[in-house]
Structure 1
């Protein structure tokens, strides 16, 4: 069984790891530019869900808790040093639940939980495509979000594979258990867009129910996939949010070495 991410040691001078969880139908490659874009102080760790990329031959998960079991086991060795998490859409659900699990088991929590285009978990999931949607309905739904390139639509085999991947990832999202709201002792930062039909600004502010710390909502240009439409703006915001974490992590390391 291959690992969900690259377990190389961080480069010299890096003071914090950033785990990145991709959206439904996506892959870890959506964060490829983040390695250079966030600078040497941040070790970007894109997490690849099975069934795509170099894990394409592995079966895709359709059960949320089973996926968490695997991620928790494989990522745990990376999380004994300061780290933060970012998840986009489905990735935001995963980032939140992994954080929740680690706090519940008294393990190191992230310095910062960042979610992009992801409604808070207590809200109804009516905006997600229904479980029984046809292939045509799924294509229409994802196209309305500007989430499927035209070149995929022109190749029937690519389209078939993309729809199958998206369908399994949406089943995964629907399988996320409904749990009681438990505020987490982690600061939460929400990246959203005024043009995202899946997350309104008012809904984004409801993430405040899920933390004992403060919540900040940052409105981005673009739509649901703003991190792909406006990568430089997104990296600027994420980098600024990480600066305080990076400073704290560096200070802690310096004190520990004395």
Structure 2
């Protein structure tokens, strides 16, 4: 069962709630990788502090939204996300954590919130994705014929071999992966004011999709000092729940909770406002 205990059941299909009985003092929103769904982050809900309520973004066309049409343009997804998530960003401080494509989605959503005068995150956590202003360097594959597309995916090691070898599974999964790759590969970065929230980068040192220099360029997207933490592992290092990664994430979250406690003691509540 995906949910252990749901404190607040969202009235939107865009959110999958993961909760261990948190008191809503801090909300954490996960944004999954290309081809992934909300369940990719489920295991993280078991290691979070009790004061945190967590949710994962569920894009159309997969898992609980399998019958809905896929989206192929990032701007469309951001437009929809901004509207659907707004009610859930106003009742408590929150953090966004995006991995790979999810990092790009989370970043652009924070931009939209800032532009619209909405509450922004206490922190943006990103992993598996170079700074968004760095041009996409990998060969683009979303437009390839199916055979070539499968070959390209085999080289990326992100889609299980059992899926690629099974005709029925391919029919189910490939359109999702292709649509998500199109979101990323057709993204055109536009210059804008740096974000007011701090950005923390989590890096898998064996990730061949990122490099340290381009990860450090995330600094250009925030007015606050960048933090970068490196861990063993490849592009999907965060799903291994290695002890060093868990302790680092818990350190970051507990530090944020402490800031919130201090704010509450000083008589101030809610997320920072523009």
Give the superposed CA RMSD. Answer: 2.3
> Which residue of structure 1 aligns with residue 272 of structure 2?
none
The two structures have a TM-score, normalised by structure 1, of 0.91
> Which residue of structure 1 aligns with residue 158 of structure 2?
147
1:56 to 58, 66, 71: 66
> Which residue of structure 2 aligns with residue 163 of structure 1?
174
> Which residue of structure 2 aligns with residue 67 of structure 1?
77
Quote how far apart the aligned CAs of 1:135 are: 2.8
Q: Give yes or no for the alignment of 1:5 onto 2:15.
A: yes
Q: 2:187 aligns to what SS in structure 1?
A: coil
Quote how far apart the aligned CAs of 1:3 are: 1.9
Do 2:96 and 2:121's aligned partners in 1 also have CA atoms closer than 8 Å?
yes
Q: 1:99-248 alignment to 2 at 5 Å? A: 99-127=110-138, 129-230=140-241, 232-248=243-259
1:28-74 deviations in whole A, cap 9, x for unaligned? Answer: 10111111111212111111011001111111111111111111111
Quote how far apart the aligned CAs of 1:250 are: 2.8
Do 2:18 and 2:42's aligned partners in 1 also have CA atoms closer than 8 Å?
no
Do 2:127 and 2:203's aligned partners in 1 also have CA atoms closer than 8 Å?
yes
The two structures have a TM-score, normalised by structure 2, of 0.86
1:161-217 deviations in whole A, cap 9, x for unaligned? Answer: 222211011111233332014311110011112221211011111111111101111
> Which residue of structure 2 aligns with residue 37 of structure 1?
47
Distance 1:257 1:205 in 2: 33
1:84-115 deviations in whole A, cap 9, x for unaligned? Answer: 00001110001000111111122111000011
What residue ranges of structure 2 are gaps of 5+ in the alignment?
A: 1-10, 270-274
Q: 1:3 aligns to what SS in structure 2?
A: coil
Quote how far apart the aligned CAs of 1:237 are: 2.3
Structure 2 CA distance for partners of 1:141 and 1:197, relative to 1, 3 Å:
farther
Higher alpha-carbon deviation: 120-129 or 67-76: 120-129
